[in-house]
Structure 1
Amino acid sequence: MTRHAPRILFRADASPSLGGGHVMRCLALARALCHPMSHEWGTNVAFACCEGTLDAAPALARSNLPVTTARSEADFDFPADWGGRADAIFVDLYTSTRADETRMRDRAGIIAVIEDLPERTHDCDLLVDPMPGGSPFDYAGRVPGDCNIMAGGAFALVRSEFAEQRQRALDRHFNPGPVKRILVSMGLTDLGGISEPVARLALDTLPEASVEVILGPRAPSRAALEALCRTEPRLTVHVDIDDMAQRMAKADLAIGAGGGTALERCVVGLPSIAVVLAGNQQEMTGLLDTDGALAAIASPEDVLAELPGLIRRLERPAARARMAERAAAVCDGRGAQRVARALVERIERQREAGHEPV
């Protein structure tokens, strides 16, 4: 039998209410899978997403990876030339269930899951939980006995450019000077238009610092912030950028969302204030705050009262140096490569056992 390159489908969605984090961490893993690996066939990667995902996560549209239609959690299309089957399906959905994963087994040799809500149960062969401090013991009795569990910050799914910028950024953040550049990045969808009040508070709190805001193309704050740029020379606004790691390396302080982007800031040791914008961000943001890897604001409603004080606290170089050291210890930015290797090796073992998909 002629072997085809492993076919790996990601089932993930993005929307204004959900944000783009699920798709972005899957895209980080997809890129790692597309890099040369220790196998001879290469890797074919595609996404199956609900309507509106490409608008909420434009980086996926730019990736040139195939994107097919998903009508529900377990009802979706494969690329036309895959023959209706994949070697592996990687699921990153808070709305999917164990029953959905069982249904997918008819269409893939391996079911993999990205999870950070350990109270759920899964029918999967590989589970990735990037939560700092996560442990395989968190999933005892919640996954099949032979499931490969990759839990903890070592498996954080961030893009390779953050690892590439890590040493340069740490050299700077471990030895900080005054705060001259503040980076504001409240997520691709700018939930509730939060970027505008955050940027204004940062400008008012540190009158000598410049503020750089990163937005998605449909961000509610976009028009107001672009208008403010015309009268405030310390403010710049960038839409849908591809060089976030470099911008984090150059910033002195960040204000951002919780969730996956907080792990990106940890890789480069960027001192940051994280605002919890969704319930699923609470646990990880709280853990990082307790560990000193960031300073947390529990909800958008608390930003006005708490953000100026936290900015002034982190204006002190010694406070930022301590936070940078704690953040850098959370993850090194190579989690996607570790997970990609584990998945490809599992596919190879299955093929060696004679379970080659048709």
Structure 2
Amino acid sequence: MRIVFRTDASTEIGNGHLARCLTLAHQLQSKGCEILFICRELPGHRAALIKKQGFQLELLKTDKSDESKQTQVTTECLPAHSPWLGCLWQQDAQQTLTRLSNQPCDWLVVDHYALDKQWQAHVKTGYHKLLVIDDLADREHLADILVDASPGRQAAHYKALVPEHCTLLCGPNFSLLRGEFSGFKRPAYQSNNPIKLLIAMGGVDKDNVSAWLLKEINQMQPPPNIASIEVLLSESAIHLARVKSQTELMTIKTELVVEPSSIAERLAHADLCIGAPGGSALERCAMALPSLLITTAENQRHNAMELTKAKAALSLGCFKTLNPQQFKEQLLTISTAPDTLNQLAGCAVQLCDGHGVKRVLQALFQAECQVRAATAMDKDLLYRWQTAPGVRDYSRTPEPPSYQTHCQWFEKVLADNERSLLILELSDDAVGMLRFDRQQEGWEISILIAPEHQGKGLARTALDWAKQSQFTPIFAEVHPDNLVSQQLFSRAGFKRLSENQFKYTQPQQDPR
């Protein structure tokens, strides 16, 4: 599949939108997808980072003479964040469409507060399906899939903003976090131990909150119970030099870390983070790292409120109105309160498990998959799959069949009314087989995914399709040593009947 991302990074936008798109892009690339980024050349853009991570990039330039020719649109029709685009939406849409016109993409992924259904409709001939990543629920989209991982976000918030067919993936369990943030087990905080403080006010930190925090901490009397401080910033941080100067004045051991190779490693070594309630707040939740939240933008207020409501963080309010004395008192209190830190950590990790990318990929591939009846034209294809190395390791008949035996079996299955042989397709390419054999109480399922398409979550996609089909109840026999398949059926909602037997029955419909 060909996947195109339209997102931006800048001193105004920050790096968060690009960061989560890069996370999704890496996972899609690992599944064999072709990736292209389309970004605008804004102040603080991260073109070098995109290329460094191995992705193709088309960088859009803003031509002021062309912009002046565009039809002016009243502000009532524009998204609230339209100035972030750096040009009129019509100009951006036409430039994007030009990049897509030669070869329309299978999926266009849009992560941009300044773009809505008007832009999406203008570029529609350049994509087959649309995945939107959002946090605001403040404008309409033409999305086939919409992802909003904000805490407290519900599908109902988007029902009037997307088409009826749109799949809505809402809440922190769909957060697009890198794999490094999942599976971490933080030890309990011990009393009287000085804490290690992390300051993470976003990669750009355009308001220079980091330097302000360091200055206030340095003036605290009595000093807080802090052993060391780390400050995280990106290379595009506006006030990098000023933060560096402030770190050199600190009485507490302080280090400025620019573009760390592993943010998760930094979070793992910290006991408390002072950070913004943007997307990085969910990284801290997944790592069970307590946070003091400082809001620096209007679009962060929702996250701050919901994280506080979930008792996963404490909010200090908006930076512009933050009282220095209030901040110092709060930091002094929490730095000597291990029970509070442990409670915050426990609530935070329950909010986000770090596996959101897997769930989004599953939805994307499921939306792209279709099932059709097998025909005589599939005979040789299935033989190639059936005889591939390793495919029959856990089969009832481990020995690969001869071609003659396979042909006889294939023709017999197609002619049997008590059996159904189906082909799973991804973007019109055959990627797997499902077979249903009639039993006394239902249907036995067999699944085979083409060797070159394994590892993409397609077996789960096939099972999800089967659960909604007429072939229920479904029975499955899985070799006890085939742990991957055992987990697959368990996680798909199948009930274990014995060491190697599973069953799925569709839930009863509420008569109301």
The alignment's TM-score, normalised by the length of structure 1, stands at 0.87
CA contact (8 A) 1:78 1:84 kept: no
Q: Does 1:196 align with 2:211?
A: yes
Secondary structure class of the residue paired with 2:326:
helix
Larger radius of gyration: 2
- Shift of the 322–92 alpha-carbon distance from structure 1 to 2, 3 Å rule, reads same
Gap runs ≥5 in structure 1: 1-5, 37-41
Identity %: 28
- Shift of the 111–248 alpha-carbon distance from structure 1 to 2, 3 Å rule, reads same
CA contact (8 A) 1:88 1:108 kept: yes
Secondary structure class of the residue paired with 1:90:
strand
Q: Does 1:341 align with 2:341?
A: no
> Structure 2 CA distance, aligned partners of 1:176 and 1:28?
34
Indicate the structure with greater strand content.
2
- Shift of the 320–326 alpha-carbon distance from structure 1 to 2, 3 Å rule, reads same
- Shift of the 57–196 alpha-carbon distance from structure 1 to 2, 3 Å rule, reads farther
Map of 1:66 onto structure 2: 56
Could you tell me how far 1:69 is from its partner in structure 2? 2.3
Count of matched residue pairs = 341
Map of 1:180 onto structure 2: 195
**Partner amino acid, structure 2, of 1:167:** F
Q: Does 1:310 align with 2:330?
A: yes
- Shift of the 320–135 alpha-carbon distance from structure 1 to 2, 3 Å rule, reads same
Could you tell me how far 1:49 is from its partner in structure 2? 0.6
- Give 1:274-289 correspondences, 5 Å limit: 274-289=293-308
> Structure 2 CA distance, aligned partners of 1:104 and 1:355?
23
> Structure 1 CA distance, aligned partners of 2:290 and 2:427?
50
> Structure 1 CA distance, aligned partners of 2:254 and 2:173?
35
> Structure 1 CA distance, aligned partners of 2:239 and 2:138?
35
- Shift of the 228–45 alpha-carbon distance from structure 1 to 2, 3 Å rule, reads same
Could you tell me how far 1:78 is from its partner in structure 2? 8.1
Could you tell me how far 1:240 is from its partner in structure 2? 1.4
- Give 1:107-122 correspondences, 5 Å limit: 107-122=126-141
- Give 1:90-239 correspondences, 5 Å limit: 90-163=109-182, 166-168=183-185, 170=186, 172=187, 174-177=188-191, 178-203=193-218, 204=220, 205-206=223-224, 208-232=226-250, 234-239=253-258
Map of 1:261 onto structure 2: 280
- Shift of the 142–184 alpha-carbon distance from structure 1 to 2, 3 Å rule, reads same
> Structure 1 CA distance, aligned partners of 2:43 and 2:51?
9
Map of 1:11 onto structure 2: 6
Secondary structure class of the residue paired with 1:106:
helix
- Shift of the 73–260 alpha-carbon distance from structure 1 to 2, 3 Å rule, reads farther
CA contact (8 A) 1:179 1:253 kept: no
Q: Which moved more, 1:174-183 or 1:150-159?
A: 174-183
CA contact (8 A) 1:226 1:237 kept: yes
- Shift of the 340–216 alpha-carbon distance from structure 1 to 2, 3 Å rule, reads same
Relative contact order: is structure 1 or structure 2 higher (C-alpha 8 Å, sep ≥ 6)? 1
Q: CA RMSD in A?
A: 2.6
> Structure 1 CA distance, aligned partners of 2:286 and 2:196?
19
CA contact (8 A) 2:198 2:270 kept: yes
> Structure 1 CA distance, aligned partners of 2:27 and 2:314?
30
- Shift of the 354–234 alpha-carbon distance from structure 1 to 2, 3 Å rule, reads closer
- Give 1:283-302 correspondences, 5 Å limit: 283-302=302-321
Map of 1:326 onto structure 2: 347
> Structure 1 CA distance, aligned partners of 2:427 and 2:343?
52
Could you tell me how far 1:267 is from its partner in structure 2? 0.6
CA contact (8 A) 1:216 1:240 kept: yes
Could you tell me how far 1:353 is from its partner in structure 2? 9.0
Map of 1:39 onto structure 2: none
Q: Which moved more, 1:50-59 or 1:347-356?
A: 347-356
Map of 2:40 onto structure 1: 50
Could you tell me how far 1:57 is from its partner in structure 2? 7.5
- Shift of the 289–64 alpha-carbon distance from structure 1 to 2, 3 Å rule, reads same
Name which of 7, 11, 16 aligns with 1:21. Answer: 16
Could you tell me how far 1:242 is from its partner in structure 2? 2.0
Post-superposition CA distance 1:200-245 (Å, at most 9, x none): 3334442642111111223233212323444446111111112110
Map of 2:506 onto structure 1: none
Gap runs ≥5 in structure 2: 62-90, 372-423, 430-512
- Shift of the 216–180 alpha-carbon distance from structure 1 to 2, 3 Å rule, reads same
Could you tell me how far 1:134 is from its partner in structure 2? 1.8
